[in-house]
Amino acid sequence: MALTKVSYSMIDGAPAINIIDVGGEAGANDNTAAMNAAADALNLIGGGVILIPTAGEWRMNWVCLYNNITVQGVGGSGEFNVNCVRPFVNTSAAITFGDGNTIVRYCGLNDLHISGIPIAGSSALGVTQVAYNSDWGLRLRGGTVNFTANRVVVYNGRRSVSLEPSTTLPVTGVRFNAGTIRNDLTDASGARCIFVEYVSVDGYATDNKFFQTKVNGPTLGYAVVAVACVLEITDSYFDINPGKGILLSNSASLVCHNLQLDPGTTNAIIIAWDNTISNPARLIRGILKHGGQRWENTLGNAALPDEADTYGYKSSFKDTWLSNATYFTNDSSPVATDVYVERGLSGGNAYLALAGADFIPQADNTKSLGIASFRWSVVYAATGAINTSDANQKQDAAALTTAEQNVAKAIKGLIKTFKFQDAVIAKKDKARIHVGVYAQDVAQAFADQGLDANNYGLFCSDTWKDEFDVEHTQLGIRYDELLCFVIAAL
């Protein structure tokens, strides 16, 4: 369809096409073709708004595969009738963004009501039997990035709002603001208000956030299911009675601020996992109000801390949890260990103290303590570092060559006093004097003898990119090796 044949206006500076102007009609008609026509036309000019302007029931199974497309409604006087988008057939969602392969960016919904019910029923609140419900209301598929929903109401469908990955692409950057997500199915154990999943069972923070969201859970099923991802919820209210609440599966975790749960059940939060030695509270961060929380794994259930009103959950690595870490034995009985983390202040500086255990990497000789762009300022130790020097782990031993001896002698003459620039900025004339070499001078000393300093462990060069994609290179010296090198030539 040529753009010149489509009438469009402007909404908040963006071109807008009225669905009626491209053949859309409220009632029993399928509006999928009209939505595609509007999206095709807007895509030719870089995106815009599809306007659904009047009250009525708008049926469709529309899939958006373009960037910068927003669907704009006019709200409604009720959640089940006025200005409502429904599936035309229940085999597909009413509205879907992405297809699992195409990357769709900067799309959204405003002031729209979406229902997973293809045809309104006559039972209480207009809810039909489960057989007539679509599997989705609003569906976002892998490759959808930077999606925003403002003042949107989504209800019913086995998954009212579903964020689903493809094989390789997650849904990321979703912002659901000031909306309502509900599920009133009374006979569907698979019902979910919100379903969020990442592509890997190892878990990943996909940066999907729900702000000021009211969630009304189903009688059966769960209000929210998060799989292998971080679920972030702020200033929201979950009325999940009488069904189950938030299910965290496959290492999923919950980050919340001012989340109020009104469950009427002991299963407000369920942590389903198979790790029997870790602290379950590590999967919850933030402030929860009300509710009796429980967690469960493959071995059974156990209660999380009781909450008379509000409880602040914090990572067990940053703070103690019930004074120490806990794990659960095969009979699901909590057993206190002597390993815990304490936080405090010393000399004006915050600290984390690990008691009752050594701090070690998971695997030998595989991880660094700090990186070039995030260095420790000072290392305090009672004795020096122990470096591997076992002959059984070394080879190609050789005396220094004449050229190497010449470099060592040259480096001896390069030792000087200096001050660090950041110390001078912070302390001015009180900055302390240090003794050492400049790495650039050392590199030149090697080059003067036809040698490459990068071939020697005493010389280090690290390169990285910052958040603005600017490349930085920083040179360093291993002084224990450099001093041995210089001494060998004396």
Query: What is the chain's percent helix, strand, coil content, to nearest 5?
Result: 15, 35, 50
- If asked whether residues 420 and 346 sit together in one domain, one would say no
DSSP single-letter state for residue 317: T
| 123 and 264 inside one domain | yes
Domain encompassing residue 449: 403-487
Angle at Cα 86 formed by Cα 143 and Cα 212, nearest 5°? Answer: 65
pLDDT in tens, 213-241: 999 877 777 888 888 888 899 999 888 76
Co-location of 343 and 413 in the same domain: no
Q: Helix or strand or coil: residue 65?
A: coil
Helix (H) and strand (E) counts for the chain?
5, 37
pLDDT at residue number 189: 72
The b/e string for 89-102 (b: 16+ C-beta within 10 A; e otherwise) is ebebbbbbbbebeb
Evaluate whether residue 387 is within a structural domain: no
Which residue spans within 200-252 are E strands per DSSP?
209-211, 214-216, 222-227, 230-239, 244-249
pLDDT digits (tens, 9 = 90+) for 413-458: 999 999 999 899 989 999 999 999 999 999 999 999 999 999 999 9
On whether both 232 and 120 belong to a single domain, the answer is yes
Domain end point (choices 296, 330, 355): 355
Q: What is the average pLDDT value for the chain, to the nearest integer?
A: 78
Q: Do the beta carbons of residue 139 and residue 95 sit within 8 Å? A: yes
267 vs 36: which has the higher pLDDT: 36
The larger pLDDT score, comparing residue 276 to residue 31, is at 31
**Pick from 112, 34, 120: nearest CA to 73:** 112
Torsion region of 479: left, alpha or beta (phi above 0 gives left; psi -120 to 50 gives alpha): alpha
Residue 272 confidence class, pLDDT cut points 50, 70, 90: low
- Per-residue pLDDT, averaged over 323-342, amounts to 35
Among the residue ranges 48-62, 247-261, 326-340, the one predicted with the least confidence is 326-340
**pLDDT tops 50 at residue 333:** no
CA torsion 250-159-154-240 (nearest 10°) is -60
What's the structural domain count of the chain? Answer: 2
Look-up of token digits 């729209």: 112
Whole-angstrom distance, CA of residue 105 vs CA of residue 162? 17
Length of the chain in terms of residues written: 490
- How far is residue 238 CA from its own chain's centroid? 21
> For residue 208, what pLDDT is reported?
92
Whether residue 201 is predicted with pLDDT greater than 90 in this model: the reply is no
Q: Name residue, tokens 């702000």.
A: 211
Mean pLDDT of 180-200: 80
pLDDT over 50 (residue 95): yes
Provide the pLDDT confidence category of residue 349 given band limits of 50, 70 and 90: low
Residue ending a domain, among 321, 340, 355, is: 355
Helix (H, G, I), strand (E, B), or coil: what is residue 284? Answer: strand
| Tokens found for residue 373 | 């762009």
- The upper half-sphere exposure of residue 185, i.e. CA atoms within 13 Å in the direction of its Cβ, equals 31
Rounded Cα–Cα distance for residues 115 and 8 (Å) = 27
The Cα angle at residue 192 between residues 187 and 198, in degrees rounded to 5: 145
Q: State the CATH number of the domain containing residue 301.
A: 2.160.20
Quick check: is 365 in a domain? no
347: Cβ–Cβ under 8 A, 6 or more apart, which residues?
A: none
Tell me the mean pLDDT in the region 104-123: 78
Domain match, 349 and 407 both: no
407 and 349 share one domain: no
In angstroms, what CA-CA distances link 42 with 23, 34, 71, 281?
Answer: 15, 12, 12, 48
Is the pLDDT reported for residue 384 higher than 60? yes
The strand ranges marked E within 250-346 are 253-262, 269-273, 284-289, 294-297, 300-303, 310-313, 326-328, 334-336, 340-346
**Per-residue pLDDT at 60:** 93
> What are the distances in angstroms from CA 94 to CA 163, 216, 460?
14, 20, 58
Same domain (yes/no): 273, 337: yes
Q: Alpha-carbon distance 159 to 196, whole Å? A: 10
- Of 125-129, 157-161, 429-433, which gets the smallest average pLDDT? 125-129
Best CA proximity match to 268, nearest among 288, 283, 250, 286: 288
Which of 355, 385, 416 is the last residue before a domain boundary?
Answer: 355
**Pairing verdict, β 269-273 and 244-249:** parallel
Q: Are residues 160 and 66 in the same domain?
A: yes
pLDDT value at residue 281: 55
Together in a domain, 326 and 435: no
284, 411: one domain: no
Residue 307 has pLDDT above 50, yes or no: no
Cross-strand bridge partners of residue 294: 303
- Look at residue 402 and tell me whether its pLDDT is greater than 80: yes
User: Looking at residue 407, which CATH number applies to its domain?
Assistant: 1.10.10.10
